[in-house]
Amino acid sequence: MALKGLWGASQLPFGAVVEKPYASASFEQIHHRLEQLVAVRACGLLHGPNGVGKSLLVQHFLRSLPDKRYKTLVLSHSSVTGTDLLRLLCAELGQTARMRRSDNVLLIRQGWQQLDRLWPVVVIDEAQNLSATALEEVRLLSCERRDTQPPFSLLLVGDEQLLPRLQMGINAPLLARLSFCLRLEPWTSEQLSGYVQARLEQVGIHANPFEAPALALLLQAGNGLPRLLNHLAQRALEEAAAQSSRMVTAAHVQRALELLPWVAQLAK
């Protein structure tokens, strides 16, 4: 009621109800680059800080792939062992996993063949948490074909720890099979400002309720990470609504920072 009465909003902005991604220049660039790389059947990684929008980018990238050309397989439980990873991949391919590794490798090979003309795209999220055995299984699976081309396109997605982890000597054989590395950088203040306006308009708020000092503090505290900005903006709007204030002031943003001390720490 407060959202509608104060700002005419249909839903809470900066929340999960707004599914359409903000088409920033970096978002569009990396999205297009991923489409090009998968089209040539490349394998690689996408990394960046937590909260910068990697999972959302990958989600919309996978949705954009034509169903008649690609089969996407997403593994998000990256802390599993190598054996578990094979079993999960069997399940994604519609195969009933067995106890022995050799049987599961055979099932995966059969799964690739059953896809016929569909090219498999395997995405492993939070890949920085993969165990050494799981990374080795990923490498071995990519060597299944006798020619130099892997039997699938692999996309490892992870935070700032992913690239240093892959650069360790033990992972050199896997790293040698990857052909690209994309990084999603923290957003600029201009990008975050455009993002704030776009998210407000998506729920019917066309007049920005954030006062200039409040918006400046919000952008600074967001630290280039839209997820952090989402949390902070929601709390600030709630503080303003509790006081029946049509304008979100710097005091409301400051109170939101007190409710999210880890965000306040990053803003220092």
The domain locations on the chain are 25-183, 188-267
CATH 3.40.1280.10 fits domain 25-183: no
Q: pLDDT tier at 3 (50, 70, 90 boundaries)?
A: confident
CATH of 188-267, one of 2.160.20.60, 3.30.910.20, 3.20.20.80, 1.10.8.60: 1.10.8.60
As a whole number of angstroms, the distance between CA 128 and CA 175 comes to: 13
As a whole number of angstroms, the distance between CA 59 and CA 56 comes to: 5
pLDDT digits (tens, 9 = 90+) for 229-260: 999 999 999 999 999 999 999 999 999 999 98
| Cα distances (angstroms) measured from residue 81 to each of 31, 50, 97, 173, 198 | 30, 23, 15, 19, 41
pLDDT digits (tens, 9 = 90+) for 164-201: 999 999 999 999 999 999 999 999 999 999 999 999 99
As a whole number of angstroms, the distance between CA 37 and CA 31 comes to: 10
pLDDT digits (tens, 9 = 90+) for 58-114: 999 999 999 999 999 999 876 667 888 898 899 999 999 898 889 999 999 899 889
**Residue 182 confidence (pLDDT):** 97
Please give the model's pTM, rounded to 2 decimal places: 0.89
Which ranges of the chain does DSSP label H, i.e. alpha helix? 2-7, 25-39, 54-64, 82-92, 101-114, 132-142, 162-166, 172-175, 189-202, 212-222, 226-242, 250-259, 261-267
Helix (H) or strand (E) holding 47: strand 44-47
Which tokens is 213 given? 């000092």
pLDDT digits (tens, 9 = 90+) for 202-224: 888 988 999 999 999 999 999 99
